[in-house]
Amino acid sequence: MQFKPNFDLLRTVNSKELINITGDRLCIAIFHRENKTLVCMCDDHRANIAFDMSEMCLSDDFPIKPDVLLCEMENVGFERKFSPHGYQDSDLTHAAGVAAKKNIPLVFIDLSREQMMDVVNSRFPNNQIVDSDLHNILMPKDHTEQQHEQYIWLLRQRDRFMLQNIVVALNKWDTVFVIFGGTHFVNQRLVLEDMMGKPEYITKIKNMRGDFSDVKIEPIKLCEFEMAGADDKKS
């Protein structure tokens, strides 16, 4: 079986839709189709419970074992040491650290900051942005009209790239885990359901935190980013 995403089903919606689907802002969605399994850790980037979610899913007690973990982090070379007291930087680096500790292959599936700037500047050539502008675009609070348009265009390109990585991973491995923000999940959900059917949801996250030594994260790359055409204006 070879999966192919239908990007016509990709949406740009409010992350609060996850509450309407599952009753919570954070959940685990488990898809099965034939011999393929996709486990989506849908994160709201609240550190403590998000840390617990990744540790729960990657623990020896979790009934599904990943062949690979896809993580919403920049798809560039990444080498870093972490505190033995826990990975304090973010929930995403924490998940990457847990995977590295367990020798689970790791893929970073988000655009680099340089690619994000290229995406925005290609669509809005008369208002070129620099690196320092990205934070205001990526955080949708108090957006100007132009920043909102930039945010939607950038979000759409990021979701396409994440989906491309998910599909390549599913065609390569039997069991794929992915951790990303709930916004990305609700945007991509119809594409994933079209490929794999309806998921089952887990919303009860166990309180658990491991004791880690320093680890080295060595991601692999599955996809090269290719920007969608400017006529892709669906929202």
- Counting Cβ atoms within 10 Å, is residue 77 exposed (0-12), middle (13-18) or buried (19+)? exposed
- Give per-residue pLDDT as tens, 27-62: 899 999 999 999 999 987 766 778 888 889 999 999
Position 122 in a domain: no
Residue type, 122: S
The string of DSSP letters for 106-160 reads: EEEEE--HHHHHHHHHHH-TTS---GGGHHHHHS-TT--HHHHHHHHHHHHHHHH
Identify the H or E element spanning 54: helix 47-57
Position 117 in a domain: no
Provide the 3-class DSSP secondary structure of residue 49. helix
- Give per-residue pLDDT as tens, 152-181: 999 999 999 999 999 999 999 999 999 998
- Average pLDDT (106-127) is 91
- Average pLDDT (103-121) is 93
38 lies in which domain range?
A: 7-111+174-202
Position 235 in a domain: no
Which pLDDT band, with edges at 50, 70 and 90, does 208 fall under? low
pTM: 0.84
- Counting Cβ atoms within 10 Å, is residue 229 exposed (0-12), middle (13-18) or buried (19+)? exposed
Q: How many domains does the chain have?
A: 1
Position 98 in a domain: yes
For residue 165, what is the DSSP state?
A: H
Cα distance between residue 171 and residue 65, in whole Å = 17
Position 209 in a domain: no
**Percentage of residues in the chain having pLDDT higher than 90:** 47
Position 190 in a domain: yes
Position 36 in a domain: yes
Position 214 in a domain: no
